[in-house]
Amino acid sequence: MKKAIGSFLLLCGTGILWLPPAIAEPQRSTRNLVENPGFEVLDSATGLPEGWRTITPRQEVAPAFVVDSSVSHSGRSSARSAAKGTAGTIGFWVTTVRGIQAGAEAGDFGMSELTVRETDFLSSRSYRIACFFKVREVESPARNIWIRVNWLNGKGQEVFTEFLSRFVREGEWYRAEQVLTAPRAARSLNLELVLQWTATGTVWWDDVSVEEVSTLASRQIKVGTVYDLPSEHSTPEKNRGFYAGKIAEAGKLGVDLLCLGEGITLVSTGKKYQDVAESVPGPTSHILGEAARKSKLYVVAGIYEREGPLIYNTALLIDREGNVAGKYRKTHLPETEVNGGLTPGSTYPVFRTDFGIVGIEICYDNFFPEVARSLALQGAEIILLPIWGDLRGQEYAWDIVARARAIDNAVYLVASIYSNRRSLIINPNGRILADTGGSHGLVTAEIDLNARTFERWLSVGSYGEWKNLFPKERRGETYKGLVKSPDE
CA distance 347 to 382: 17
pLDDT reported for residue 430: 96
pLDDT tier at 228 (50, 70, 90 boundaries)? Answer: very high
pLDDT tier at 419 (50, 70, 90 boundaries)? Answer: very high
Q: Which tens digit of pLDDT belongs to each residue from 276-334?
A: 999 999 999 999 999 999 999 999 999 999 999 999 999 999 999 999 999 999 999 99
Domains defined for the chain, CATH in brackets: 29-216 (2.60.120.260), 220-449 (3.60.110.10)
**From the centroid of its chain, how far is CA 223?**
17
CA distance 247 to 349: 24
Q: Could you tell me if 482 and 370 are in contact, meaning their C-beta atoms sit under 8 angstroms apart?
A: yes
Q: Which tens digit of pLDDT belongs to each residue from 39-88?
A: 999 998 888 999 999 999 999 999 999 999 999 999 999 999 999 999 99
Active-site residue, selected from the candidate residues 192, 249, 262, 337: 262
Please say if 259 is a catalytic residue. no
CA distance 391 to 397: 7
Following DSSP, what letter does each residue of 300-322 receive, concatenated? EEEEEEEETTEEEEEEEEE-TTS
Distances (CA, A) of 178 to 129, 130, 301, 350, 410: 6, 7, 35, 22, 19
Q: Which tens digit of pLDDT belongs to each residue from 241-277?
A: 999 999 999 999 999 999 999 999 999 999 999 999 9
Please say if 330 is a catalytic residue. yes
End-to-end CA distance of the chain: give it in Å, rounded: 49
Least confident of 29-38, 106-115, 204-213, 294-303: 106-115
Q: Which of 367, 356, 365 is nearest to 428 (CA)?
A: 356
CA angle 427, 431, 435 (to 5 degrees): 90
**DSSP secondary structure letter of residue 488:** -
Active-site residue, selected from the candidate residues 363, 381, 465, 472: 363
